[in-house]
Chains A and B, each alone.
Chain A
């Protein structure tokens, strides 16, 4: 710690602090333009100049100068005032004064400073900038005439996002921020540059001319897309979510967001939303009143329950309270057939981790990864499913020089980071590689074996997975496997990352077990700050597991329910917040199940392909209309707040479940989400003691920052065999989309409007495929047509297609395999 005096105030701060940070801590305000909490000090704007007694004779930039013992700082004097005013005058020489039409007006740092320092005239004259603006792309609007060259966009894109879209070009007065070759933006469109820009040079285009900052009501909530649980602050006006506001003060994401979080909100405002209940009459869905619809649902379920039973399949984007009520609805119906998210993909947590570590969740929290020195990411898709967690990894690697290993069947964003090594294996062989790493540790004796159960069986089974053997089968060099294993075992703090979700159904449990084995053997489980992360694809995947929205007792899982319904041995299906036809593996089976079940109720925001097949459709509400809690992939329970009201007669799932339970005669009545949470906290051990209204801005992490493993049991797990075929199709998540709901959001759709099939550049040359060509893909007796996209990510013989799009019908081919041998033709 260092002691110093700022404006006569004696303060003590950590020795890594800068003068600016020390002043801020002491509540002393120093103006800045180029400083941002999460970026490295830069010192571009010279607005933060202060006087330091020990460095007399010149003014010192406070944002780049570290504090020293006994420093005496003055933050305001006549000279400082004069110099700051001059700096502003310089900035305003070329800066166009179009505050009346600039959307930043009202929250612009330059405008505020100009006002504060009373820069009413300018002693300098110069030409105003007249640069062309970039309004080509649909999400990020760039007007470099308003730029003050603080470099925040350049730095955030490089330091945090790790993309590097921007750079300074030209020199002197002509310096400006530009992309490579000064072309349009073609990036991840995460909008981090938008949130960083202190002026109106980079703005969110969907929000263009929509409102002034002071007219907007800010509502903090949690993003409903992935399991990262980022805080998003909705800007609400006219009962619409107009934009997502920058907020780095609360939440787990430090103000970082991805395209889905920042630009994916618009599905809540969509005109395609369902606004009234629908009932199928003479083969057509017609509008009905809530009373009629609920009556029909209750009648149908009662009849079905008395017949062959009811199955309930839920999505993982409902709040904890809603999932709890759903369980009560299931009880009221009298069924144990309750499941979520296809019933298979989460088994890595509910079975894999339970069998090995005895826990049902990730063991650590996100910020801990930033301090890790070795990170192992299983699948390169981790960045695609959890981009903001990916940004934490970026920082660990780029700022703290962590070593990153990626076990993946394709290259990806992570692989481009410095210190990153991709263990590129043939598709579907993740387990083999992880097993080989475990074997390598056992072989060279560095494996942690104290207090580990099941070691003998594991050793026996791992005999088949000697790195050399696996190298031949998977294509990953044995040396690389050994080196990765060694680094992982030698790390002070390590992190193992794995995402699960609907497109990663295959070997869900096996991969998790293999990862847990490796975590145990490498000492990851024992070391403080070292953790194993299993991250759900949806906002409340963890909550669904915590609350036990999984088959219990004699209940059937989602896949069994679908099988049963298809075979006619289940009378009714209740599908809540899932578009099974689009996103579940094996569309044929899902459609058969929906046809086979005598009575289908769909509860959704949109008339999805699943809802179209339903007998009754209930219009539900989006996250922006809900009050409740989500539990993110690091076990953090966070509050969701409503910003707008539902369109038409749509109701929240909470309200629907309550009404339905009452129709079923269960008499379910709570005073609100707080009461429901209190009830569920009573039933779920992990949530005991957590109080709804006490959940603050940072949420509450159940189980503590580090969840202790209850057991340490290694379990033998079999790898897979490589898929034969000239071409192998992988499916997964695209960075710009999440689940199916983002296909209704303008932002993500503007960037990736339709399904595609991605080719590696080598294959593309051989097949003479170019971007945009229509490609026929045949497998499993079905054929789909997709537009081609050529990239450099994929190794030879591998093609990739994202699963989000209903029209594409990818799940006609994909039936739950890790990789599918396909025939590809033009």
Chain B
């Protein structure tokens, strides 16, 4: 019985040693975790040549259950519809991903970016400049 007990403890001890640990000293050692592909972090507006892919169809603010997306459409020089204003209020966002699902042109996606803490309320408003990456 003692033999089995020691065997078990050895396994435990092995995982205490270097190379086997899954605990990360976050954020002290500057580790960045790699979340899964399906993780729903900060939004990103997909760029397309000289502009954003978004055509300001208003489906994302319509579907958004938290009402955190503000879109204002306008006409650019080429006569195309584009979002003059695109803002996400992350304080209200619930990261449900419905905006991504609703988008007919795959212009918005959610990245693995999870470090979203900040000091000022205003900093949680992500405008087009911060979203198009």
A contact set with B: CB distance below 8 Å: 99-101, 105, 135, 208-212, 214-215
Contacts and interface: CB of A to CB of B under 8 A. Distances in A.
Nearest to B107: A100
Size class of B's contact patch? 10 to 19
A101 B58 contact: no
Interface of B: 55-59, 62, 73-75, 79-81, 104-105
Contacts of B56: 101, 209
Given A209-B56, A209-B75, A101 B80 contact: yes
A99 B55 CA distance: 10
Nearest to A205: B75
Given A100-B81, A135-B79, 16 more contacts: A100-B59, A100-B104, A101-B57, A101-B80, A101-B81, A105-B57, A208-B75, A209-B56, A209-B73, A209-B74, A209-B81, A210-B73, A211-B58, A212-B58, A214-B62, A215-B58
11 contacts: A100-B55, A100-B59, A100-B81, A101-B55, A101-B81, A135-B79, A211-B58, A212-B57, A212-B58, A214-B62, A215-B58
B62 A100 contact: no
Contacts of B104: 99-100
B105 A100 contact: yes
B11 to A, nearest CB: 54
A215 B56 CA distance: 14
A208 B73 CA distance: 9
A149 to B, nearest CB: 24
Main secondary structure of the interface of B (DSSP, over half): loop
A431 B98 CA distance: 71
- Looking at A101, A209, A211, the one whose CB has the most chain B CB atoms below 10 A away is A209
Q: Please name the 9 residue pairs, one residue from A and one from B, whose CB atoms are nearest each other, closest first.
A: A100-B57, A101-B81, A212-B58, A209-B73, A100-B104, A209-B81, A100-B55, A101-B55, A209-B75
Contacts of A105: 57
Contacts of A214: 62
Contacts of A212: 57-58, 62
Interface of A is mostly: loop
B108 to A, nearest CB: 12
Nearest to A103: B81
A135 B79 CA distance: 9
Nearest to A212: B58
A209 B59 CA distance: 14
Contacts of A100: 55, 57, 59, 81, 104-105
Contacts of A211: 58
A100 B60 CA distance: 11
A208 B105 CA distance: 20
A613 B23 CA distance: 81
A215 B59 CA distance: 11
Contacts of B55: 100-101
A768 B73 CA distance: 49
A211 B84 CA distance: 13
Contacts of B57: 99-101, 105, 212
Contacts of A101: 55-57, 80-81
A503 B55 CA distance: 49
B51 to A, nearest CB: 13
Contacts of A208: 75
Nearest to B54: A100
A208 B80 CA distance: 10
Contacts of B73: 209-210
A210 B79 CA distance: 13
- Tell me which of A135, A208, A214 has the highest count of chain B C-beta atoms within 10 A of its own C-beta: A208
A615 B59 CA distance: 52
A381 B56 CA distance: 45
Contacts of A210: 73
A101 B55 CA distance: 6
Contacts of B79: 135
Contacts of A215: 58
A105 B56 CA distance: 12
A135 B81 CA distance: 14
Nearest to B58: A212
Contacts of B74: 209
A244 B62 CA distance: 22
Contacts of B80: 101
User: Most A CB atoms within 10 A — which of B74, B104, B105?
Assistant: B104
Contacts of B59: 100
A211 B56 CA distance: 10
B30 to A, nearest CB: 42
Contacts of B81: 100-101, 209
B10 to A, nearest CB: 59
A215 B67 CA distance: 13
Nearest to A238: B72
Nearest to A98: B55
A210 B58 CA distance: 11
Nearest to A133: B79
A78 to B, nearest CB: 31
A37 to B, nearest CB: 30
